[in-house]
């Protein structure tokens, strides 16, 4: 079975040509986890897409949880750290994590422990539009739409667009 990936190239599935039993599901899960960290729901979905039955996948996920190879809290913290460093805001990150099957309580805890979102919104605005505060409504709305698209809330946006000293971290 071949799937199309982002670039349109077909790539071989992890479990192609192998039996779809629990040991094969475990090997496929470990192969996937060797590339990057996965949320539990995301890994479950990925293994199901590769053709592994649920009765083979569930024991594998339970074993990986016991071995701490899978941890949604760790995944959420890592995901937030990476995407915040790329200039994405908490609303967008939370939506992405929810789509990956991370529990709402874990998302909230990880976002709370994450970076200073107001400072990050200011930094993203300065990187994109320069250190000068917008002087007219057209520039303010353009910058606000940009920050909203990046996933910042209205209070983060207001803080970032208000007159401020770019050298002042508060």
Percentage of the chain beyond pLDDT 90 is 75
CATH class of 18-66: mainly alpha
Mean pLDDT score, 123-127: 95
The CATH architecture of the domain made up of 117-161 is Orthogonal Bundle (1.10)
The CATH label, of 1.10.287, 1.10.472, 1.10.357, 1.10.10, for the domain at 72-112 is 1.10.10
- The answer to whether the CB of 33 falls within 8 A of the CB of 70 is yes
What is the spatial distance between Cα 85 and Cα 57, in angstroms, rounded to a whole number?
33
Query: What residue segments make up the domains of the chain, in order of their start?
Result: 18-66, 72-112, 117-161
Answer whether 18-66 and 117-161 agree in fold: yes
pLDDT at 41: 92
- The pTM score is 0.79
Mean pLDDT score, 72-94: 96
pLDDT at 7: 57
pLDDT at 168: 52
pLDDT at 3: 57
Q: Enumerate the β-bridge partners of residue 10.
A: 4
């Amino acid at each position: 079975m071949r799937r199309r990936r982002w670039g349109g190239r077909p790539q071989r599935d992890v479990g192609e040509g192998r039996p779809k039993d629990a040991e094969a599901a475990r090997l496929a899960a470990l192969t996937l986890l060797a590339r990057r960290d996965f949320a539990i729901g995301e890994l479950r979905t990925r293994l199901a897409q590769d053709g592994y039955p649920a009765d083979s996948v569930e024991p594998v996920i339970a074993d990986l949880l016991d071995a701490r190879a899978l941890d949604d809290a760790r995944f959420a913290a890592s995901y937030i750290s990476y995407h915040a460093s790329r200039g994405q805001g908490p609303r967008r990150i939370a939506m992405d994590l929810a789509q990956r099957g991370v529990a709402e309580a874990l998302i909230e805890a990880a976002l709370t422990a994450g970076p200073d979102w107001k400072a990050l919104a200011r930094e993203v605005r300065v990187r994109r539009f320069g250190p000068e505060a917008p002087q007219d409504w057209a520039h303010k709305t353009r910058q606000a739409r940009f920050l909203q698209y990046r996933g910042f809330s209205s209070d983060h946006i207001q803080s970032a667009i208000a007159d401020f000293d770019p050298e002042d971290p508060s």
